[in-house]
Structures are given as structure tokens and as C-alpha cells.
Amino acid sequence: MSFTYIASAADWARIAPELVLAGVALLILLVDLLLPQTGAVPRERGAANFFVLPLLALLGVLGALAATIVLFVVGDGQRAFFGLVGSDWGSLYAYLAILSAAGLGIIFSPAYLKRLKLVHQGEYYALFLAATLGMMLLAAATSFMTLFLGLETLSLALYILCGFVTRRQSSQEAGMKYFLLSSFASAFLLYGVALIYGATGTTRFGARGTSAFPGVLQFLQAHPQSTTLLLIGIGLLTVGFAFKVSAIPFQMWTPDVYEGAPAPVTAFMSVGTKAAALVAFARVFAVVLEPVAADWQAVVWALAVLTMVGGNLLALVQRNAKRLLAYSSVAHAGYLLIGVVGGGATGLAAILFYLLCYAFLNAGAFGALSALERLDNSGCDREDLRGLWFRRPWLAGFLAFFLLGLAGFPPMAGFAAKYYLFFAALQGGHPELLLIGVLTSVLGMYYYLRLIAAMFMEPAREVQAGSLEVTPALAVAGAGAGAGVAPRASGPLGRAASTRTGGASTGAAVAVKTAAQATTRRAPEVEQAPETREQATEEGALAGSSLSWTTWLGLGLAALGALALGTVLPFWLVDLALKAAATL
Amino acid sequence: MTTIPVSWYLIVSALLFTIGTIGVLVRRNPLIIFMSIELMLNAVNLAFVTLSSYLDSADGQIFVFIVLTVAAAEVVVGLAIIVSIFRTRRNIDVDEMNLLRG
């Protein structure tokens, strides 16, 4: 074994988007230390935190996006570092989806962090960018080494981000569950890689059409009969990947983690992780393991069907909107797996286009929920969403828009995306998948529409109930909040609240109910009571005022993107996706 | 000197991996679960080194370095999460972590 290893400047240029992100992530950590202290306010709570750091992170994402577009135009599409990382159009297309999700997640963050009084924002944004970097590396991986490295980079950053709300037990729990289950799945994936390495003698994927850096693909083309070692390896690899894309029966972590994690992080990870893992899944199975497709196709077919049916059925019984969206994202993973089974350029292109549409729709939906979520993770139940239209019409409108898009109604991106995916199923010779996909989509419409109906058609009963149902035990907790808020509530806030809720009650009643609700729901956690009360006061103040403008900006951008993808751009973008898929 | 066949190494690796998997599934303390996951990763490392020497290819050995590095980073993050949970709950049993379900 002897090596000559000289990386050229062209190699570095091919991973320019990743380099930009890594640089900015480090810069954010540095700037976080140097931010000026403003008076008596601790440095990490200062106003600059809510402006400078997110702006810097956003600039990093935009820089990476610019680098991606430049690579699209002038890049040579060759593999960097001796066939370890791809810079082909397929990877670049996946970057677009991942970076859109990251950008939207960052835009949703400042308002959320400010409302929940979360500090340590330097870490938050640096980890955000590190996770984005890992996702891009995973999507562009053309060797099992880079694949594993990207997977772990994104996972490690996301474990911390999921448990970021240290004062909320459910957030910590989400971090822990994600950590344990994800490392467990990584071990399976890794063992699969080791066995495939044993069977083929290489960890590189190998490019289609060229013999520059031979890899697994070239070996399998030469020896298409599969050995026992290879079969076991593929099996373990499937388990690992199925976990990462949250396919049933490996989905149990998804709802817990999506519910417990902070909403902006969920907005980002639900899309980014899925995009990266699915592109890697598609590349490994539909391209690299294509010569032995007969061995894995039935398994992935079963996974796709189980995930589509199970995800939609489980979503039907959810009462929490975040949980419902988590199960809906499981169902969407099922639709996406159709593309892997169908294979070919059409299937891969459909996956890429679907991911881009999904990025805007799902990030938008979770972003809208991020404006509702409270510190103790309440506020997203269907009961809380009742009559949202009468209290916050714009927010309800946006949420309904994204939900309709996810359900697949025509003007939004969801319809075009589903259309191409089902078309790919037909082209790949799997009409039964088309049928199951369409039927389960119809099933899916039920729970999306029921949530919308709750927001628009059912009256906001909770306000009146709150003023009537204050039992002595609850009044103890509620009194603090009520007393704290009442003097202020008589001001403009009180008027605003009463007009918005149809004159049903004053702001004080809203706050009392909020505290009472929180107390009943989380009675065992007595130590959290002071924070809950504090939060209730803040919620009262927030109900009257409008959201932070950044959230509106994020919602607007996501809606615009979803509309554009659904109406103007599909023809051009699908064309691009077709070309991109051929290079995966 | 007789050489030990490659399959023996692979069998040991498979055994270690199985022990790790069982450990993750039956133990309730996150620290032990975490140790079991590390055992699984090290089983993979053993397989990689064996295959690398058998195939006379460096890929496996380099992969081991990557796995070791990642495992170290995972320890840092994992223990931090466990400590942060212990601070608020005074209990890290995974069966008690049932706030999120349904």
C-alpha cells in the first residue's frame, strides 16, 4: 500500500458551498464572543444577539447558495478528492433544498428565541450551520466514508439543537431519544458498510460511465451475482437508511423528536435531514447497488408501502399539530421512497423535485407553528388551534396554505411534486405504487383538512371556558399570572384581545386560562411553575401584538417559494432535475 | 506459526455487535445503552481492520480512524445531554422518559 495524495485547487473549488458554511459557522462563534455588552443586560441576551448572529448565519447560507449556483453554471461536475465528494448537478440540486430549509429555519429563529428567552445563540446558529454542512456532505457523498461523516456531522449538531430548550423537559427528552436511537441506527449502517466493503473491496461508490475512480458500482457491474456478505451488508444498510429517512417500522423516534425540539429546528431538520438522507439513499440504492436491484427492490417496495399507509393512518389519530406534521412527514418519506423503487432518471428527478417543494411547504408549516409554541411545548394542540382564524387571521391563513400544499392541492407546489413522483412510479413499472400513493394521499387530506376546519370553522371556545373554569387549585397558579397581567391588560392590549376574540373576554382571562391550562397539563412538574407563569404573562402580551417581522418574512418567503414551485417553475425545474438525476 | 483465518475475526466482530445490540435493547440506563453502542462501533472497527488486512486495501483502516473520531465526538455530546437531563430530573432511566408519546 503506497499513496500519493495531492489535492488540487479544483478539488477545493468543487466543495465551495461546504467551505463557505464551515467558515461562517466558525466566524459566528468568534463574533459571539466579541459582541459588545449593552448596559446591565448580560451579553448573551443583548439586542445584538437577535440581529447580528442570525444575519451572519443567513449570509452564510446565502453565500453557500451563491456558490452552489456558480457551481451549477461553471462547475465541471467532477468528483473531488479522488472520488470522495461529488459536485455533480444531482448534489447541487439537493443543496438547493437543504439550503432553502436552513435559510427558512434561521429566519424563523430570532423571534422564537426571543419569545422563549433562550440564550447562547452563538452556539445555536453555529450548530445550525454545522448541521447544514453535514446534510450537504451526506447528499454529495460518493464514498461510504463521506456518507458516514456527513451523517454524523448533521446528527451530532441536531442532537444538541433538539435539546436546546434546557428549561423544557420534553426538549431534553427529544435530544436524548434522538441521540440514543440515531447512534444505534448509525451502528447498523456502519456494520452494513463494513460488510459491503468486505464483499467489494472498496468504499468508493464509483461514477457511472467513467472508470476514473472505480468503486462499488464497477465491482458489481463486473460481478453481478451477490454473495452472502453483500446481502447481509445491504440488509443492515437498509435498516440504517430507513431509520434516517424515518420509514416505518423505523419511525418511532420521528414524532417524539419533532414534537419536543424547538419549532424552528424542527422546520429545518424535518426537511434537511430528509432531503440529505433520501438523496444519499437514492444514490446508494438506485445508482450504486443498481446491478443487484433484484435483491433489494422488494424490501424497499415494502418499506414504501408500509410508510405511506402507516404514516397516514397514524397521523389521523394525532391531536397535537406538531405530532401530526411529524407523522405526515413520515408519510411523505413513503411517497419519496416510490422514486427509489421506480429508479431510473425519472424516479431520481422526481425525488429531487419533490424535496425542493417539500422544503418550502414543510418548513413553512412548522414555521407557522413556531409562532404558537410556548416554553412548556404547549400551544400546538388542536384545541389551541381552534378558532385561530378569529384571533390571528394571517397566521391561520399561512398555516392553512402550507397544510393545503402538503395535502397536494393544485396551486401549491405539493401537487406538481406528487404528480411527477406518481408519474415516475408508472414509468418505473409500478402501477400498484401509484394506486397506493393516490389512495393514501386522499386519506392524508382528511387530517390536513380537519386541522384547517378547526382553525377556521370552530369557535375559539377556550377563552370563555377559561373565565368559567378556574377552580381553586388552578386559581393559585393562575392568580399570579392574572395579577401580573391585569394592570397591563386594561391598556391597548386588552382592547385588542377583546376585539379579536369577538368581545368574549379580556386579555386577563386569556392569561389566566393559559396558566391554568399549562398547570393542568403538566401538573407533576411543579418546579416549572414559575417559568410557566412568566411565560403566560408573555403570552398575554403577545396575543395582542403582532408577531415579529422576521417570522412574517419567513412565512412569506416560504409561501412565495411554494407558489412559484407549483405554478411558474415546475417545467423548468423538473427539466433541471432530470438532467441532475442523470449525474447522480 | 499458524495464521488465524479471517472468518474467525469476522465471527468475533459479529458476536461483539450482537452483544452490543442486545445491550441497547435490554438495558434501561442511558450510560449503559451508550456503552453498548460504543461496543457495536468497535465491533465494526474490528471488521474493518480485518477486511482491510485481508483485502490489502487502506480504505478500511482510514474508515476506522473516522469511526473513532466520530465516536469520541458522540461521547462528548451524549454525556452532555445525559448530564443536562440528570440536572433537571435527578433520574436518567429511559423508561421514565415518557413525556412525549402517542
Question: Which of A380-384, A393-397, B80-84 has the least mean pLDDT?
Answer: A380-384
- How much is the pLDDT for A520? 41
Residue-wise pLDDT tens digits, A356-380: 999 999 999 999 998 888 887 777 8
Q: Note whether residue B102 is domain-resident.
A: no
Has residue A16 got a pLDDT over 60?
yes
Has residue A104 got a pLDDT over 80?
yes
Has residue A459 got a pLDDT over 60?
yes
Has residue A263 got a pLDDT over 60?
yes
Question: Which of A116-125, A217-226, A276-285, A316-325 has the least mean pLDDT?
Answer: A116-125
Average pLDDT, chain A: 82
- How much is the pLDDT for A475? 39
Concatenated DSSP letters of B22-85: HHHHH---HHHHHHHHHHHHHHHHHHHHHHHHHHT-SHHHHHHHHHHHHHHHHHHHHHHHHHHH
Residue-wise pLDDT tens digits, A319-366: 889 999 999 999 999 999 999 998 888 999 999 999 999 999 999 999
Residues A138-154, buried b or exposed e (16+ Cβ, 10 A)? bbbbbbbbbbbbbbbbb
For B:2-41, CB contacts with A below 8 A are 10, 17, 20, 24, 30, 33-34, 37, 40-41
- How much is the pLDDT for A509? 40
- Give Cβ neighbours of residue A109 (< 8 Å, ≥ 6 apart): A54, A124, A125, A128, A264
- How much is the pLDDT for A282? 94
- How much is the pLDDT for A207? 84
Has residue A86 got a pLDDT over 80?
yes
Name the residue with cell 394571517: A394
Q: Note whether residue B1 is domain-resident.
A: no
Which residue from A179, A193, A259 is facing B100, i.e. has the nearest CB? A259
Partners of A320 on chain B (C-beta within 8 Å) are 102
Has residue B5 got a pLDDT over 80?
yes
Q: How many CA atoms lie within 13 A of B99 on its CB side?
A: 24
ipTM over 0.90: yes
Task: Tell the burial category of A37 from Cβ atoms under 10 Å away from its Cβ (0-12, 13-18, 19+).
Answer: exposed
- How much is the pLDDT for A488? 38
Residue-wise pLDDT tens digits, A281-329: 999 999 999 899 888 999 999 999 999 999 999 999 888 899 999 999 9
Residue B47 sits in a domain whose CATH number is: 1.10.287.3510
Task: Work out how many domains chain B is built from and give that number.
Answer: 1
- How much is the pLDDT for A122? 84
More confident residue, A183 or A7: A183
Q: Note whether residue B71 is domain-resident.
A: yes
Has residue A500 got a pLDDT over 50?
no
Q: Note whether residue B101 is domain-resident.
A: no
- How much is the pLDDT for B102? 57
Distance from CA of B29 to the nearest CA of A (A): 11
What residue in A sits closest to B18 (Cα-Cα)? A188
Has residue A41 got a pLDDT over 80?
no
Average pLDDT, chain B: 90
More confident residue, A377 or A83: A83
Q: Note whether residue B14 is domain-resident.
A: yes
How does residue A6 score in pLDDT terms, banded at 50, 70 and 90? Answer: confident
How does residue A547 score in pLDDT terms, banded at 50, 70 and 90? Answer: low
Distance from CA of A199 to the nearest CA of B (A): 9
CB contact under 8 A, A179 and B78: yes
Interface test with A, best of B11, B27, B33, B77 (most A CBs within 10 A): B77
- How much is the pLDDT for A537? 43
Q: Note whether residue B22 is domain-resident.
A: yes
Structural domain of B89: 6-96
Which three cell numbers, joined as nine digits, stand for A22?
Answer: 464551515
Has residue A493 got a pLDDT over 90?
no
Q: Could you tell me how many CB contacts below 8 A there are between chain A and chain B? A: 124
Q: Which of A497, A509, A406 is nearest to A464 (CA)?
A: A509
- How much is the pLDDT for B91? 76
Chain A contact present for B79, CB below 8 A: no
